[in-house]
Structures are given as structure tokens and as C-alpha cells.
Chain A
Amino acid sequence: MNAAESPNVLLVIPVYNHGRTLPAVVRSALATGLPVLVVDDGSTDDGPAALAGMDCKIIHFPENKGKGAAILAGAREAGRLGCRAIVTVDADGQHAPEDVHLLLQKDATSSGPSIIIGARRMIQDTVPAASRFGRSFSNFWVRLECGLDLADTQSGLRLYPVKELLQLKLSRTRYDFEIETLVRAAWAGIPIQTVAVSVHYPPAGERISHFHKLKDNIRLTMLHTALVVRRLLPLPHKRIVRTNPSDATESQQTGRPWILRKRLEFLGHSIFYLVLRLCGQTGAYGLLFPVILTYILFSRKIHRLTGPYLERRFPLHSRGQRWIDTCRNVLSFGRILVDRAWLGCVRNASLADEVIGREKIDAIIAAGKGAILLTAHVGNWQTALANLHFLKVPVHALMQYDQQAAARHYFDLGERQRTFSIINADGPFGGMIEATAALQRGEFVTIMGDRLTRGPSSTVDFIGKMARFPNAAYTMAAHVGVPVIIFLAAKTGRKSFQMQVWDILYPQFETRESHQKILDGCSQKFAEALEKYLKVFPYQWYNFFDFWAQ
């Protein structure tokens, strides 16, 4: 491909005191056949003077403004010239300008405007260790911020669509520009693609880099902090490029009821691992305060999500008290997530557990009977499920796929042994055959009794208003002839939790006609047990949606 086939592309070289490498870079850039624009970002080494007589445009900044400012100036110039895209090449000679064609080829096969990154193959011996680390560190943050797994988020060899780039609201003008651009572009719906390119790192003495270790790293840290906080705010991003409706993105799903949980779970899974490894559980708890406070201050939705429950649990509380209740509710959920991550990624991490009513469970096991452990999204239910080894019989968890993913995550991380197997409730027969077979073998099956996804339900009184609860667990227990143990977990201290038998039900069907009445009765008992639990642990309710409307 030559320039004639892609006349709409301008090659932009931002320059700041790269006098030694610049002429060679510009020469090989011109050899690509593309028009070349050098943006001199206030060089003081007279380097750009050496370009006299070369067939390239030069823009001069009177003073140093930063690489990002230079690239944006190049994009604006390209816009004036009517160019569709720019390709940026670093002036330090690390890119082979002939690789520009790889980017153009990729661009030619894209269906619409997209950013294309030349991902550097870092196999050469002279690649500095700091660059390798910097690259994977930066890739990690970008993944966290926009969910994209990109091979090289720091490469300066890129193709940008001009119109879309200029529409992005960017605040960073230095080395942090390239990261910010990627994340905001991804949020705006601009596709990002990569192609593998070569890289040449000159030996240590000949390297020209103006990356200031302290200042630029502080800038990057501030940028990442801002982007992560923005990412956590449940506000939609302005889309510049409309994507296919079938490509569901998170911003399109914000209407779903348990999005807050998903977001916080994302928090629990990602950011905190780093802090956990460095500062342990205490450090991560400390980090929770500002993050959750910011979240609650800026979120318009949070009170709508916690309100339905808190208004019922504390009907007499004032607005101010309700605000504090919300903080406590969300904070305690954050702590549960921190604990889960902490147990998963830190060796020697452990919580002390206490089982109240254990003798009742032991009696059922001694009788050789199976049982259903009916639990709810309260307390540290996931950690509790992982600590059922005291039961001495195999335990199976009947779960929906998304819960499964979260639980798997927990188990895969730790080296601790899995104490239960997961039965997929999304499979044919809803996992009921596996669950029935397990109960018949005298094993235990755990079921979440509070989240209605599909299937039969009972509408019963719960904290003063009718709510629907799934009742399949009682039907199963009645058919197989096993008890239902209402078993709820609660965090009781920084490093302790309890599991308690709140009630045991023995549903039995006599006539077909009485089924619904029996199921309703069981559901009412479950709702009462939950209500009792919430009197003791009011902030450990984690169904962040209008439970009474489900």
C-alpha cells in the first residue's frame, strides 16, 4: 500500500529534544509515502533545524507542552487538511516507520473508525526491564478501567481517527495522554485494535527518553485513580461511535437491578487485590472508606437501590440517618468483598467461624439423611459456603451461572480445597436431577432462597409488605423427604463470622391441592427467619434492588 491508496492519513511525529534521532526517523517516515508532520514540542536542542530541506511540515510550540498536546495539535492540523486519520510515530527511533503499513492495512479492514495500536514485540535483549514492567502495569490498569485486554497500552505507534479523537474530552497532555485516550475512547465506543510491530531499543547510553520517573509516574497514578473512580460511578458514558446493539456493554446494562453488586464485586475482584497483597485486610478496609464515600456522594442511584430495604427496616429514620444507614450497608458489603479477596489471595488469611445450632445439623447427618441448606444474600454467604467442611458430608451448591462465576473466582484463587461442588441451575432440568440424586445419597445441597429468577414462587409478608420468594426448594425437599435447614451467615467481627441454623422445616405433601398452601407456609417461615436475622444484623442485607418488586 502506498500514499496514493491512503491519502487521508497524516503521519505525525511529536518531538521534544530528539535531535540525534530525529532526521533518521523523519527520513524513513517520508519513505512510507505518507505526508509527514513534525510537531516540535518546544525543543531546546535545535534538533528540528536539521530538518531543513526535507519534505515535511513542522509546527513549533514556543514552549514544552507535552506529548499529548503535540499529538492533538497534529490531529487538528490533519483535520484542517481533511485527513481522516493520523498515525503517530515516536521520535526516539524505537519504531520502524515501515510498520506504519501494518496499521494502515488493519485500518483498511475495519468496518468503521477505530484506534489501532502497534503492539511492540518485547523480545529484544535491550528492552529495559522498567519498560517491560511499566507496560504490564499499565495494561493492568487499562483492563481495570475499560475492560479491554490490550497487548501494549503504552505504545506510541498508533493510528487515530481524527474526527473521533478530537471529540474525546481529554484532560491530560503528557505521557498520561496515551492511556487516557485509550480508556476514554473505549468508553465512547470507539473500537481499539492492535497489530504486532517490531521495536528497537537502542543500548542504554544512546537512549533518549524524557519520561520523568517521579513526575510522570505521579501523573499516571493520578490519572488511573481518576479513571477508576469514574469507572465506578454508575453514570453512562457519552458514546461517540454507536456499537452494534448485540454487543452488550456494561453501560447499556445499568438498568439491571443488581448492577451495584456487580460494580462492587468488580471492585472486590480487581483493585483491592493490589492493596491486599501490599497492606493486607486492614489496608483494604482503609481504602474502602474513601471509595465508598465517593461512590455514595456521586451516585444518583445508590439510595434507590438501598432504600427499599432500609426504609422498611428503619421506617422512622430521618434523611440524614438514612444516608448513614446506606453508608453502613454498602460499607459492610465492601468488607465482605475485601474478606473474600483477602482469603483468596493472601496465604495465612483466615476467619474464625462459629456454627450456632450445629448439633441439629449433626443429628440430621447421623440419621443418614440429606438436607437442603437454604440461605440468602446476607452476611458473608460465599465465604460461609466455602467453610462447610465441618459437615463431613459432600455439599453441593445449586447456582445460577453468574453466581457460579463469582464463586468459582473465589475458589480458583485460593489454594484451599474446594469443599463443595457446583450444580449448574441453568442446565437442562435446572440442575434438579443432580440435586435430587445428591439428597438421596444423604448429601447436602445449598440453595439461595431469596432471589427469584424463574420458577414457582410464594408471596408472603416480609418486614411488613408482601414479597415473592422462590419455593422450589420446599417442593424438592417434600418429594425427596429431606428437611430444609434455614442457614444464614453473618460477619461478626473483623476476622470472625458465624453461621446459624435459624429454623428447620419439614415440608410434606399430602394431597395435590394442598401443595401451594404448604409451600406458602414454608416461604413465610423463611421470610420470618430472615426478618429475625435482620433484626440482629441490619446492615448485612445485600439484595440491592427493590426486593418487594421482584
Chain B
Amino acid sequence: MENLKQKLKEILIQDLKIQGVRLEDLQEDTPLFNEGLGLDSLDAVELVVLIQKYFNVQIVDMDEGRQAFASINSLAAFIKERQG
């Protein structure tokens, strides 16, 4: 689980290029979108594609998106659950 969260942080920093946040400063319970890390709906596209690419897990609609993108913790839990 910790490895998974670490990987997610790397994706957020390196692939999504979140501005002004260092890897070690990323809080695991901060919301990814809007007031949290400030991602927008186009970042959702990229994140959905990256999650599919790295973990082979598909996020299909906004309900799943809301659940998965609530925080790094919930995204890790979502991936874990889908991977079985």
C-alpha cells in the first residue's frame, strides 16, 4: 500500500506536473481536485489515462471519479480494490 501511494505521488508530480508542490510535501488526505491540489477536469482525463496505463484499472464515470480522486489515500484504496 505504501509503495502504491509513493507511486501515485510520483505520477502526480512527474506526469501531471503539479506546480509548486514537492513530493515529500504531498499530503495523502488532500483532495486532488479543485481546492485541494487544484487539478481540473482536463487533468482528470490525464489521470484516468495514467491510472489505466500504470495499474490497468479503468475509472469509467464521475461516480467512480469522485470516489477515487477524493485523495491519494482513496485513490490507492480504489486501485487496490480493483486489482483484487
Tell me the A residues contacting B by CB distance below 8 Å: 427-437, 440, 455-456, 472, 475-476, 479-481, 512
Contact = CB atoms under 8 A, between A and B. Distances in A.
B66 interface: yes
Interface in B6-40: 17, 33
Contacts of B41: 429-432, 455, 472
A432 B60 CA distance: 10
Interface of A, secondary structure class, is helix
Contacts of B66: 428
A429 B62 contact: yes
Contact of B59 (A427, A437, A456): A437
Contact of B44 (A436, A455, A456, A481): A436
Contacts of B61: 433-434, 437
A200 B83 CA distance: 72
B42 A456 contact: yes
Contacts of A431: 41, 62
Interface in B30-75: 33, 41-42, 44-46, 48-49, 52, 58-62, 64-66
A395 B16 CA distance: 28
Interface of B: 17, 33, 41-42, 44-46, 48-49, 52, 58-62, 64-66
Contact of B52 (A428, A434, A435, A440): A440
A429 B65 contact: yes
A476 B42 contact: yes
A479 B49 contact: yes
A436 B48 contact: yes
B4 to A, nearest CB: 21
B11 to A, nearest CB: 13
A217 to B, nearest CB: 53
B14 to A, nearest CB: 11
A49 to B, nearest CB: 76
Given A430-B41, A480-B49, 10 more contacts: A429-B41, A430-B44, A433-B48, A433-B62, A433-B65, A436-B44, A436-B48, A472-B41, A475-B42, A479-B46
A435 B49 CA distance: 11
Given A428-B62, A440-B58, A512-B17, A433 B44 contact: yes
B59 A432 contact: no
- Indicate the member of B45, B48, B49, B52 with the most A CB atoms within 10 Å: B45
- Indicate the member of B41, B58, B59, B62 with the most A CB atoms within 10 Å: B41
A472 B62 contact: no
Contacts of A435: 45
Contact of A436 (B17, B33, B49): B49
Contacts of B17: 512
Contact of A455 (B42, B62, B65): B42
A141 B43 CA distance: 49
Contacts of B52: 440
Given A433-B59, A433-B64, A512-B17, A480 B42 contact: no
